[in-house]
Structure 1
Amino acid sequence: MDKEEQLLRRRLLDLANTSYYKGICVFSDFLNLNEQNIFLSMKSELPAIQYNFFGGFPDAERKMLCFYGNDRITGQEEIPFPITCIRISPRNKRFSDSLTHRDFLGAILSLGIDRSKLGDILVKEKEGYLFCTSSIHAFITEQLIKVKHTMVNAAVIEQEDFHYDPALKEITGTVSSVRLDSILSVAFRSSRSSMAGLIQGGKVYVNSREVVSNSYVLKDHDVVSVRGYGKFIYIGTSYQTKKGRYSVKVLLYT
C-alpha cells in the first residue's frame, strides 16, 4: 500500500467517524474509480454508518462520497450533495474550435483548481458541462474565459435543467465463453491477450469495483470501465450458435 492510498484511507475513515459521532452528513471530494474501489475495500473498518455515492447525474464516473447517520434520510435524493453543474459554451459557435474533453479539463486546471474538486465533464455540440464542488463554482464562472483558442461563457445551470442522453453504440460479437477478457475484446475490437493485460494491470472496473480476474463473469447490465479505452454496458447473451459460441451485446459510450 503506497503513501497516497494510506492518506486516502485515513481521510475517508476520519469523515466516516465525524459523521458517526456527530450525526451529520459529511462529503468527500470527487473520487475516481480507483479511489472508489479503495473505499469499497475498507468497509469493514468503518463504524456502523450509511453512505452513498453521487456524481451529479446517474451515469457519472467521478463521484462524491457522502456519509450520513441520520435515520430520516431514506434515499439519495434527500442527500444535499454540494455539486454544481456549469455549462461552458463558445461565445460564437460558428468560429469555435472543435473542443474535446481534454481541452475543457486543461483550461479548468490551468486556473489552479485541484482535480479532486472536479467531477465529470461531458462534451456535447461544442459545449462542455462540468460538475464541480459547489464552493468553487463562482470562481470558475468568473475566471474561465477561454478554452483552447475559443472565448467562452461559463454559467451555472440547475441540475434539473441538465438533460443527459448518452450516445451509445451497439456492438455485437460471438465468444467461446463469457469471460471478462472475451467481452472486452468484443467491446473494444481488440485481442483477448491485450485485454487480459489491462485486467491484470488493474485498469478494469465493474460497477466501480476493480476486477483483476480474466475469467470474471459479467452480469446483465453491469457497467464496465476500462482506463484509457472507455465504458460500456454489458447487455448479455442472446443465443448460442451451432458451434457452441455465445452471441453477446454491449452498448459502448461514444
Structure 2
Amino acid sequence: MLSTKGASTPLHSTLLRSRRRVEAVIAGGGPSIVFQPIVRGHDGAVEGYEALSRFPPGGGDTEEWFADAAHCGLGPALDRSAVVNALKESARLPQGRFVAVNLSAATLLDDSTFVDLLIDFGARRPLVIEITEHAALDDEDAVVDVLAELRRGGVSIAVDDVGSAYAGARQLVVLEPEMIKLDAFVVHDMKGNRAKSALAELVLEFARRTDARCVFEGIETDEDLETARMIGADLLQGYRTGRPEPAAGSGEIGCSQPR
C-alpha cells in the first residue's frame, strides 16, 4: 500500500495521482475491452481474438496505464480486472475461436486462485496467455512452474513483442511458447527493408523448429499483408486484417479478407 504520510514530493504526488486513477477505473468495473481478430495467413479466416483494454481519455495510452499501475503497486490488480472483463465479454464472441489475453508474469505469481480461474476458462474455450514483460524476469524458475501448471490445464502461452523487447530472445528460450508474436515495428514496412524481412524470416523459422505458431502483428497496409504472406506468416493481426471492436455476439468482428 502506498503511504500518504510524510512530506509530499513530486514523485510521491505522481504516484498518488496514478494510484487514484487506476483505483477509480477498477472500482468502476474497467477497463473496457475490445477484441482484435487474429487471422490465418493463407486465407484470412479468423482463428482467434486478442482482448485489448481501453481506458478513459486523458490518462495516456494503454501501455502507460499499465506502467503507471505497476509503478504504484496496482499492476496485478489492473491485470486481473482487465482479464476478468475480457473473459466475461468473450462469451459474446463466435464459438471455437481462441481468446488471447495479456498478463505480466508478476500477476501470475501473485495469486494462485487467478491461475485456477484461467485454467477453468481454458477448459471451455481455447485460451492464450500473452506474457508482456519487456525486461528480464525476476524469478524465471517460478514463472516456468506456473506456466507449466497452465499448460497442464490446457492453456497456451505466447511471448509478445518479439523483435523489440529487451529480453525477447531469452524469454523465447526459457518460456518455450506455443505462440510467438512478432512486433509491429518489425512487420510494418517490411517490404524493401532487408533487416526487417530477415528478422521476420528468422523468427518464423525459429517458431517452426520449436512447434510454435508465429503471429505477424502490425499488418496495416496491402504491402504489409503481401510481404507477410510471401514470407509465410502463420497468423496475421493488424488494422488491414481486422480492427479492434467490442464483442458483437454474432458473426465475425472486424475481419477483412486478404486480397
Per the TM superposition, whether the score is higher than 0.5 is no
TM-score, length-scaled by structure 1:
0.25
Kindly indicate whether structure 1 or structure 2 has the higher relative contact order, using CA contacts under 8 Å at least 6 residues apart.
2
TM-score, length-scaled by structure 2:
0.25
Structure of larger gyration radius = 1
Larger helix fraction of residues: 2
